[in-house]
Structure 1
Amino acid sequence: MAENTGSLRHTVAMNVTPDEKRRNDALAERIASVLHDIRVEKEFTQDQLAVRAGLSRTSLGDVEQARKAVTAQKLLQILSALDVTMSDFFRRVEQSEQM
């Protein structure tokens, strides 16, 4: 049976409190910022990283600007292309929260 993920997302979004939304938005911003910082540190352009990760430049840009939520699969593709482990990445995200 096919799942209607659009409705599921809508239902989940309706059950999020304003505080949860603010925390989720802040986390998305930190994830985007850390991804951008790592890309720049590794001296990749968005185009170069997008090709290495198998994504469009637009898709990568949306992730880096927190315009769209990043899926686990897409995050893994990007981190693999950057040669960064998931644990190292989230350690940096956590550290960015404390700054």
Structure 2
Amino acid sequence: MHSWNGILSTCDEIEELLRTAAPGADTQKLREVRTLALRMSGRDSYITDQANKLASRAAIYFSERRHQAEQGGAEGVMREMRYSLLRAIRDQAKLREQGTT
């Protein structure tokens, strides 16, 4: 299990991967995002849920064409991953960290 700071650091790693990502088939980036998302799972059910959603959305973004059928297209999927899901995970980790100090 990761510390709350470790979860925040993992979010930063995912953010960096996504920052340079392009929509389309990319099994290497998908594997990296899934591995990092899994690393955040287990300590908090909300974070686990959001990390699972992130991995699921990454599978759509890094597919050959599935992102095209999503609302907002690839840009919408990316926006959800970077600005909704990662923010939710970070906020929860910060909240939990404050509760343990």
TM-score by length of 1: 0.30
> Larger Rg: 1 or 2?
1
